[in-house]
Amino acid sequence: MATAKALGFDAPTANSLDAVGDRDFAVELVAACALLLAHLSRLGEELVLWASQEFGFVRLPEAYCSGSSIMPQKMNPDIPELVRAKVARVIGDLTTLLVVLKGLPLAYNKDLQETQEPLYDAVETAILCTRTMAGLMAGAAFDVERMKRAVGQGHLLATEVADWLAARGVPFRQAHAASGALVRAASARGVELPELTLDDMRAIAPDVTWDEGLFAVLDASRAVDRRDIVGARRARASWRPSPRRSSCCRSSPRNSAAY
């Protein structure tokens, strides 16, 4: 018992055969590293997309990018791309561990030497990727104004139109259909919903009542703020989940007061 305590263990093992042959700790650690890398890989994918010319939502620090051998203006998002791929390596480490362990008998076997390399590789890769992504995110510059302009495109406010009608007593199925009719008409004209006139709306969906009040809700920032409720990715982080209860277990009525 004294030796176990001196080494930092709670107590001696009750089964020495299991102790020398068990590598569950390694599997659990590498599995955690693989999950961490899966999340970092998803973040890397978002950054690659957001840094592209088509999106232009973020500018990555030059120290974490590389230039092109032929195009002087190009800046390649090397780190997000590499981190995006590293998850395959760590998942491979986890697979290696599990395959080595799957057929072993009791006690120690020489096969267990092959568990060390994937263990160390997974941990080192996870540490390297985490530190690198932390540095990259610290130097990233997000173009908030461009993001706001993007939110105003693609008819994202169609749900606001349907909610606005529903709040005035229109059955939601009918409100959904009317909003969809506006979207189709706006798409055909190459405009966004706020650019349709009241006369346009009345002509497109004459079975519901339209008035000037609708234009007050056709604002992306207002739509985000209106959903300042549990579970929403809102602008005002005013709510915090109770440490004793998961947010998925809490309910909140739909916020329609804004209408």
Q: How far is CA 95 from the centre of its chain?
A: 25
Q: What is the pLDDT of residues 158-180, one digit of tens each?
A: 999 999 999 999 999 999 999 99
Contact 178, 145 (CB under 8 A): no
Stated pTM of the model:
0.77
Q: What is the pLDDT of residues 69-115, one digit of tens each?
A: 787 777 889 999 999 999 999 999 999 999 999 988 888 888 889 99
DSSP alpha helix (H) spans, the chain: 2-6, 16-21, 24-50, 78-101, 116-139, 144-151, 158-166, 172-189, 198-204, 220-226
Contact 48, 85 (CB under 8 A): no
> pLDDT higher for 168 or 68?
168
Contact 233, 147 (CB under 8 A): no
Between CA 254 and CA 126 the distance in angstroms is 41
| Phi, psi torsion values for 141, nearest 5 degrees | -115, 115
Q: What is the pLDDT of residues 37-52, one digit of tens each?
A: 999 999 999 999 999 9
Rg (C-alpha) for the chain, rounded Å, is 28
Q: Tell me what the mean pLDDT of segment 251-259 comes to.
A: 45
Question: Which residue, 25, 26, 136, 121, is CA-closest to 83?
Answer: 136
Q: What is the pLDDT of residues 181-238, one digit of tens each?
A: 999 999 999 999 999 999 999 999 999 999 999 998 888 888 877 777 777 665 555 5
Q: What is the pLDDT of residues 10-22, one digit of tens each?
A: 888 888 888 888 8
Structure tokens at 153: 């495109």
> pLDDT higher for 245 or 5?
5
pLDDT at position 148: 86
To which residue do tokens 């998961």 refer? 246
pLDDT at position 206: 94
DSSP state of 242: -
pLDDT at position 247: 46
Q: How far is CA 70 from the centre of its chain?
A: 34
> Which helix or strand (DSSP H or E) is residue 59 part of?
strand 58-59
Between CA 38 and CA 44 the distance in angstroms is 10
Residue 254 has pLDDT above 50, yes or no: no
Three-state DSSP at 67 gives: strand
